[in-house]
Amino acid sequence: MSDGRLVRLPFWPTRGLGVEMIRQLIEIAWDAELEFTQFELVRAINDEAIHAAEFLGALNVGSIPNAAKDTRGDLHDIVFLQIPLGKWWQWSQF
């Protein structure tokens, strides 16, 4: 099992880049006939990625409170999002 991660450089323009990168990963998962894609993101740190995934139809399937620590030592929730594929993804492309 591979662990795919998206990393954005802080100085890189962000308009639509995250959505397009996630969309490309979903297309790869679709082509591989996976049932869903899952995202594990850190709330407050990855809020833009959470919004991008939700824009593409991600469902919040759970979270773990205070499970991640940032560089200052502050605790944040880990959020689990899933985008179902199959017919759902196919229909959403219209």
69 pLDDT higher than 90: yes
3-state SS class at 51: helix
C-alpha distances (whole Å) from 91 to each of 49, 52, 57 are 23, 19, 12
pLDDT at 90 exceeding the cut of 90: no
Read off the pLDDT of residues 16-34 as tens digits, 9 standing for 90 and up.
777 888 888 888 988 898 9
Residue 54 located in a structural domain: yes
Element (H, E) at 60: strand 59-69
- pTM over cut 0.85: no
Q: Show the domain range for 43.
A: 17-92
| Residue 8 belongs to a domain | no
What domain count does the chain have? 1
